[in-house]
A = this chain, B = another copy of it.
Amino acid sequence: MRILILGGFDLERGFSSLLPICTLHERVAAWKEVSGRQIQLYIGDTMDYEALAAVFQDVQPEAVVHFAEQRSAPYSMIDRKHAVFTQTNNVVGTLNVLYAMKEFAPDCHLVKLGTMGEYGTPNIDIEEGFIEIHHKGRSDVLPFPKQPSSFYHLSKTHDSQNIMFCCKIWGLRATDLNQGVVYGVETDETMQDARLATRFDYDQIYGTALNRFCVQAAVAYPLTVYGKGQQTRGYINLRDTIRCIELAITSRPGEGEYRVFTQFTEQFSLVELVEMVVRQSQRFGLEAQVKHLPNPRVEAEQHYYNAAHTRLIELGLEPHLLNETVLESLIGLAIKHREHIDRNLILPTVNWRMAKNEVSRTSSR
């Protein structure tokens, strides 16, 4: 099976991964050395339909894993131009993928990266894509109501609707992976060669809270929690996300089938996460402090959260959980690369309540 991985985003403003990352070409070459396998590489923009369609014609893919979207919520909230870019790039890019499938590879299976953030925090259990609703004596199974919380998350919701429609009218096959927050940097593949290492982002635009906490602990910077910290989300180990994509590809949906899998393995609140990092840091002799900041996002800070996530388990996923070993390796990584940590990248300067934000470098403390 050949899998086509589309594009990826370069970063603005000099934010960079804590770990030095090899170029795509270097990593493809390293993988060839390690595994003997050649990944066929096409560099292109999903907004360029002719280029995209040519790849579909050439490759005739069985499956396409579409990760080629603007991936940051804070980025989408910087200002109007970033919001419009995010929605145009993501929505039109995905429309182009759908048309290329219909025109040149109608049996291809689209595996599309969505996000748990499409759902928001409803006061009922979140189901995997669809919910059976009983209402005034009748019932139907309908798309789960979405309450996305940034222009980025909205773009994913728009994608989901467009994909569902194309499955219906054209008989396309698609799996929408509503992914939780990913943590971890190691997989069996990346561990085979240092050049295969993947990103570890901790900055205010691309970083995740857990990565930020680990980096803050490593440089004795207070661990910054946005708001009350009761915000609960689904989390998943990088190893498991890779396995989930594999499971999605190998269990092909039927013609016209639009499937939704929630792709996470555990739920944590921010406060739970930060406490885990504080506790683990002590084993490194670090005295981590916690500091609550005004929340730059507009989101419920105390809410019910319980999301179903059984379909990938049923397909064979064996979760790697967020245990002490994983935390130890993440904090250890931050300590190891301590001298590369830029404290000025950490504090949030994109406020959801403003139409225009300056993404500024902030002085430490």
Does B149 contact A165, Cβ atoms closer than 8 Å?
yes
A83 to B80, CA, bound (A): 23
Given that A49-B80, A298-B169 are known contacts, is A142 also in contact with B135, CB under 8 Å in the complex?
no
Tell whether A147 pairs with B138 under 8 Å between CB atoms, given A80-B95, A83-B95.
no
- A142: B residues at CB distance < 8 A: 122, 124, 145, 147
Stretch at the interface among A37-45, A156-164, A227-235, A238-246: A156-164
Q: A83-B95, A125-B138, A138-B304 are in contact. Are A146 and B133 (CB under 8 A)?
A: no
Q: Which chain B positions have C-beta within 8 A of A123?
A: 138-140
Nearest Cβ on chain B to A47's Cβ, whole angstroms: 10
How many of A's residues come within 8 Å of B, CB to CB? 51
Within 8 A of B (CB), among A28-82: 49, 80
Assess whether B99 is in contact with A95, with CB atoms less than 8 Å apart: no
Cβ-defined contact, B168 with A298, below 8 A: yes
Residues of B within 8 Å of A154, CB to CB, are 158, 161-162, 165
Nearest-neighbour CB distance to chain B for A348, whole angstroms, equals 15
Please tell me if the beta carbons of A99 and B122 are within 8 angstroms of each other in the complex: no
Contact code string A93-122 (vs B, CB < 8 Å = 1, else 0): 001100100110000000000000000001
The 10 closest A-B pairs by CB, nearest first: A123-B140, A142-B145, A124-B135, A158-B158, A169-B298, A80-B99, A102-B355, A124-B138, A143-B145, A122-B140
